[in-house]
Structure 1
Amino acid sequence: MGSPSFFSRRLPPLWLLLLSPWPVWTQALPAATPSGPPGAPDCPEACVCAPGGQANCSGRALPAVPGGLRKSVRILLLDHNRVRALPPGAFVGAGALLRLDLHENGLRWVHAWAFWGLGALQQLDLSANQLEVLVPGTFVPLRALRDLSLAGNRLARLEPAALGALPLLRALNLRDNELPALARGLLAGLPALDTLRLRGNPWACGCALRPLCAWLRRHPSSAPEAETLLCVSPGRLTFSPLAALPDAAFSRCAQPLALRDLAVVYALGPASFLASLATCLGLGSLLTACRARRHRAAAAARHPLKRLPEPGSGTASPADPGSPAAGTAQA
């Protein structure tokens, strides 16, 4: 029988592991598969997966969302990559995703259907990108969303239709964008919002800022940075705190029409237009007819009709060049 050194030279490494003492084997097994290798059946390619459904794809210079997403993925970390655009259905197969991190990708464009199928998503980080506009319907599928960060982008306007109605959203981060105001109705669709971060935007204290100032007065504890929010324009209100602006400061701003007023406008508007058009056409026709009649009367006064001789009469008009009288007159 050979020595132990002989077996160590002849047996494969796997058999050496099986022949090891039991405690050593039980410690080596978890170390062999700690988080699932890249490219595993339940792990996106080029990512490293950990127990609990976390797929770590951070800092891998990925140009697009990796394929192979499965329902076993609960957390998808795609930060510090090169994902410049999100096409329709970019996350197909990840219907159980709870957290999605896309910050610092240079992201410039998000299709309105990019997040379709992510009805369970609760946290979405799109910060530190280059988004300038969000099209209507972008976040409509995310009915379970609780935390949304759009900080550090280039947003100059954020339409209510882009956010839609997010009934469970509690935290919204809009820091360090280019927002001069928040569109009317943007915050109305966020009934559960209790944390709103707005610092680092060029707020313009005009009529468009009235809804935001009213919201800040009604929810003083929901905007922890409200005391630091200052106007950068116009001149007389520069450096005025937003939270200190009363509703009287917007007294010269036109009030929006109520729904009843809008209904009246839409109902009477077309009828009034048609009536005005018919009146204008009638008056124009009457004025044209009067002018034509006046011109005919003036022309008749300047050039009266010559009186012609009656047929059969032997006399000729003295003015007739062919008459004898005209010949005698000429002689």
Structure 2
Amino acid sequence: MPQRQAGSEPCRTQVFQGGLAAALMRCLFFLSRLTPPLLLLLLCPLPVRAQAPTASAPSGTPGAQGCPEACACTAGGQANCSGRALPVVPAGLSWHVRRLLLDHNRVRALPPGAFVGAGALLRLDLRENGLRWVHARAFWGLSALQCLDLGANQLEALAPGTFAQLRALRNLSLADNRLARLEPATLGALPLLRALSLQNNELSELAPGVLADLPALGALGLRGNPWACGCALRPLCAWLRRHPRPAPETEALLCVSPGRLTLSPLAAFPDSAFSHCTQPLAARDLVVICSLGPVSFLASLAACLALGSVLAAWRARRRRRSAARRPPRRPPDPGSAPASPADLGRVAACART
């Protein structure tokens, strides 16, 4: 009896396997009668759904987290807002944005803190916006910014301290604007700035301290400006001699005034050509002179008052001493009568004899 039970187990297993095989065959026959598209959808739904987002990723994701709604952002941290007729800097900037493209829009002005929230920004492109006004604190908070393009706008002047906070800046373009003057306080001290584009503006000179605070500067775009070769251009000519340039670019830097120096190359002026120019006073010297002038005047006035007071006191004391040394005057005798004119005449007659 036990042997029969043990021998019947393989038989039951074979029966079960045979029934399962038959069921699988019936399922395959049923699936074979379905239409091919439906069959593919049933067999591989997951790969189709997984590939759909991958195909749309390169075009950017508008309105994603950390991305302005008017822009298209990518996973690399670029926010593309180019050519969207934006009148202001879009809101919603965050630390995820590394490159912000705002070129070919209508941003006419940059208010204070225009890029608040984008403290990790590395590149900012603001070309061709018709930009006319930039507040001195417009770029505050962008301490990591390395490249700033403000070219092809309508800037006529820049406030002092506009770029002073951009200590990591390496490339700055102010080309194709209307700048007539650039002060040292506008750029500030930019120790890492390597390239500065100033071509096609209305600059006739550069203030002496503009290039002094840019120790790493190696590329300077200057062509297309009405340079006046006077004493104010001495620092620029000295910088050009220390930084040789290609011949075509050097030949394009010409003076337009004064008359005797018209069309003279800027790089051809030696330092001896400015020997007639007086050395301008430094800002520290001006501060010392302006502070010493009023102080010295007040000191001399106080000294005069003190000396006059001492002299007046000395004279008064001298008068008192001389008055004390004089003998007192005797009062006239009340019993004596004044001499008459007859007596006076007899005295005179006696004197003659």
TM-score w.r.t. length of structure 1 = 0.75
Which of 62, 67, 77 is matched with 2:101 structurally? Answer: 77
Is the 1:195–1:224 Cα contact (8 Å) retained in structure 2?
A: no
Q: 1:6 to 1:213 in 2, by over 3 A?
A: closer
Is the 1:210–1:250 Cα contact (8 Å) retained in structure 2?
A: yes
Which of 120, 139, 144 is matched with 1:96 structurally? Answer: 120
Q: Which has the larger radius of gyration?
A: 2
Aligned length, in residue pairs: 275
Which of 132, 141, 149 is matched with 2:156 structurally? Answer: 132
Partners in 1 of 2:282 and 2:73 — Cα distance? 54
Deviation at 1:20, TM superposition (A): 3.3
Q: 1:25 to 1:274 in 2, by over 3 A?
A: closer
Which of 134, 140, 147 is matched with 1:110 structurally? Answer: 134
Partners in 1 of 2:190 and 2:226 — Cα distance? 26
Residue identity (%):
75
Q: 1:206 to 1:277 in 2, by over 3 A?
A: farther
2:308 is aligned to none
2:313 is aligned to none
1:204 to 2:228 alignment: yes
Question: Equivalent residues in 2 for 1:1-331 (5 A)?
Answer: 4=34, 16=41, 20=44, 24=48, 26-221=50-245, 225-257=249-281, 262=286, 265-266=289-290, 268-270=292-294, 273=297
1:322 is aligned to none
Q: 1:250 to 1:20 in 2, by over 3 A?
A: same
Q: 1:4 to 1:193 in 2, by over 3 A?
A: farther
1:187-211: per-residue Cα shift (whole Å, max 9, x none)? 0111111111100000001111111
Q: 1:264 to 1:70 in 2, by over 3 A?
A: closer
Partners in 1 of 2:188 and 2:37 — Cα distance? 69
SS at match of 2:79: strand
The residue type paired with residue 162 of structure 1 is T
Deviation at 1:241, TM superposition (A): 0.4
The residue type paired with residue 182 of structure 1 is L
Partners in 2 of 1:25 and 1:98 — Cα distance? 35
1:284 is aligned to none
Is the 1:197–1:225 Cα contact (8 Å) retained in structure 2?
A: no
Deviation at 1:224, TM superposition (A): 7.9
Deviation at 1:39, TM superposition (A): 1.2
1:58-108: per-residue Cα shift (whole Å, max 9, x none)? 000000000110111100000000000000110011111000000000000
Q: 1:29 to 1:137 in 2, by over 3 A?
A: same
2:17 is aligned to none
Partners in 2 of 1:259 and 1:139 — Cα distance? 20
Is the 2:101–2:124 Cα contact (8 Å) retained in structure 1?
A: yes
The residue type paired with residue 133 of structure 1 is A
Structure with the largest fraction of helix: 2
Partners in 1 of 2:284 and 2:185 — Cα distance? 23
Deviation at 1:34, TM superposition (A): 3.4
Is the 1:36–1:43 Cα contact (8 Å) retained in structure 2?
A: no
Partners in 2 of 1:70 and 1:237 — Cα distance? 53
Is the 2:61–2:74 Cα contact (8 Å) retained in structure 1?
A: no
SS at match of 1:188: coil
Partners in 1 of 2:36 and 2:48 — Cα distance? 22
Deviation at 1:228, TM superposition (A): 2.0
1:141-177: per-residue Cα shift (whole Å, max 9, x none)? 1110000000000000011101000010000000100
RMSD: 3.1
Is the 1:195–1:223 Cα contact (8 Å) retained in structure 2?
A: no
Partners in 1 of 2:155 and 2:134 — Cα distance? 8
TM-score w.r.t. length of structure 2 = 0.70
Deviation at 1:25, TM superposition (A): 5.0
Partners in 2 of 1:272 and 1:168 — Cα distance? 43
